[in-house]
Amino acid sequence: MAKINFGGVEEDVVMREEFPLDKAREVLKNETIAIIGYGVQGPGQALNLRDNGFNVIVGQRKPSKSYDKAIADGFVEGETLFSIEEAAEKGTILFYLLSDAAQIAVWPTLKKHLTPGKTLYFSHGFAVTYSDQTGIIPPEDIDVVLVAPKGSGTSLRRMFLAGKGLNSSFAIHQDATGKAREKTIALGIGVGSGYLFETTFKKEVYSDLTGERGSLMGAIQGLFAAQYEVLRSKGHSPSEAFNETVEELTESLMPLVAENGMDWMYANCSTTAQRGALDWWKKFRDAVKPVMDDLYESVATGNEARLSIESNSKSDYREKLEEELAELRDSEMWQAGREVRKLRPRQ
């Protein structure tokens, strides 16, 4: 493992150069990787593994849109595409990539096929960390591992096709065979990771749930909405308010931050923007940090897991979800966004 200095803190990470794809193929040459679930993460990980030369099959409920998508992606019914139970029986490494709620429902079926020496793979620490709520307690005679790409399955696939990699965390929960670590790193390379950094199941889910509710999705939407509403209330047009709130950030500034860091972006904008950003960022940090503390505590106590499980288990979950998404979709800000996207220059 390579030692990398992250702002004065040294971490061990696995780079693709030190664990090349050929080595990963050798480690997993006798394995059958069964992708259980073909929804959010399933397609990206399955296709990347297949394109990288690994033996991949898919298990998915039929009939379903995800089953049809697997067929459209080239998996063949009866050869590389099966029911969940058939795939679980055939696979030696089971990628448990169903939604958290679906994992709870399918667990009794899957558990029957977790025979000694198999590997159970997760991309989220939720099920194992909150086992008191999920009931998911793996048998002791199997390997239980995690590779969590830091992004959506769509992003994982797009970056793979572009010759890039999406960074991933990895963790070993159980090592029954003595080979779990090597297999996990090989799987991380196989799914298309840029580099791999080690964590635990608990730390993965704590950071993931905090991030989703915080800066990645929840907080950013709240920040967008607050600024847009203030600008509109002061007489700015929808186009101006959206461009100054969302479009400039996503289309212009964030790519620069991703490439060079926030300090570089500050250094390469107008002096007026520099002064304002430097004067105000700590005020926003101080205002938001108590909310982040409350959020992390809610994650750590299991409250967020409970709310998620209870919500996802209700029969009308999809209908309620559509209502909540419609609130976003039909808001003036995101209606303005649709129009602004139509006006982007075509290549």
Q: Going along the chain, which residue ranges are E strands? A: 2-6, 9-15, 33-36, 56-59, 81-82, 93-96, 119-122, 143-149, 166-174, 193-198
Contact predicate 13/1, CB 8 Å: yes
How many angstroms separate the Cα of 199 from the Cα of each of 102, 147, 173, 252? 24, 10, 10, 33
Identified catalytic residue from 113, 124, 173, 236: 124
Residue whose entry in the numeric block shows the structure tokens 């400039």 = 248
Contact between 139 and 117 (Cβ < 8 Å): no
Can you tell me which residue has the tokens 């186009």? 239
Neighbour-count burial for 294-333, b at 16+ CB within 10 Å, e otherwise:
ebbebbeeeebbeebbeebeeeeeeeeeeeeeeeeeeeeb
SS3 of residue 125 by DSSP: coil
124 catalytic? Reply is yes
Q: Residues with catalytic annotation?
A: 124
